[in-house]
Amino acid sequence: MAFALKPGIHCCLRDNTPIFLDLTANRYFQLGSEAGQAFLGLVQGVSLHEEQIADLDRLEAIGLLIKVPGAAKSGAALVTHHALPTREVAGMSGMTTLALLPLVLPMLLVMRLRLRLFPKFVLQQAGKRRSHRAGARLLVSVASLVAAFDLAGLILSRADRCLERSLVMRDLLELSGHRADLVLGVATRPFGAHCWVQQGDLLIGDSIERVSFFQPIAVL
């Protein structure tokens, strides 16, 4: 038997400390020192003593871990491994940007309301990728979308709105035929969370300087 994380649970290592994200409950958390060391040992593939195995059994009992059939797999698969972006897109203003604004602004406002009323549901749905029909695609460039979001940020405050912006950005990118990932990241000392949109090593609608402070914990 091997261990896996319960569906909806994501984990990353920050300063060699496991940090967890429960999308179903919309919360970040850490384990106690002994359970954290047992989980870290599982990830690192070291031999565990009886007390640590008992700690893992307790993590299974509380629903953090589940046992899956088959031979033990690499514990490294329990944590998120995602490279930070090395390039970013600069917005390119023009008539397309102005034309997109009446679309971007209402979508941001609707997403803001949804996140306020149903945050857990929105996060759960974020992991379910939608396939858009070719006939429904917008014929716009990534640079034009970035410029439209920059302009929208002058009208609607973008402070502490990274999830709202990223969800809408990803939706519009996919409507435009550009598949991209929503990346959630965490920082410690002090704790902080951030999210952004990434396509390969390309960062869309954010700055590399900002996201470099965060460790990716989930890629949706």
Q: Which domains does the chain have, with CATH numbers?
A: 2-78 (3.90.930), 87-219 (no CATH)
Its sign, for the CA torsion 63, 7, 16, 69, is: positive
Q: For residue 42, what are the CA distances in angstroms to 2, 6, 36, 52?
A: 10, 15, 10, 9
Q: Which amino acid, 41? A: G
- Continuous H helices in the chain: 33-44, 50-61, 95-117, 119-126, 142-155, 162-175, 208-211
For 142, counting Cβ atoms within 10 Å of its Cβ (0-12 exposed, 13-18 middle, 19+ buried), the class is buried
Amino acid 70: pLDDT: 63
What's the pLDDT at 71? 55
43, 73 Cβ separation under 8 angstroms: no
Rounded-to-integer distance, Cα 21 and Cα 210, Å: 20
Tokens 């970035």, residue?
A: 146
Tens of pLDDT along the chain (220 residues)? 588 999 999 999 998 899 999 998 889 999 999 999 999 999 988 888 889 889 999 999 999 999 887 655 567 789 999 999 999 998 888 888 899 999 999 999 999 999 999 998 998 888 776 555 445 567 788 999 999 999 999 888 877 799 999 999 999 998 888 889 999 999 988 899 999 999 999 999 999 999 999 999 999 9
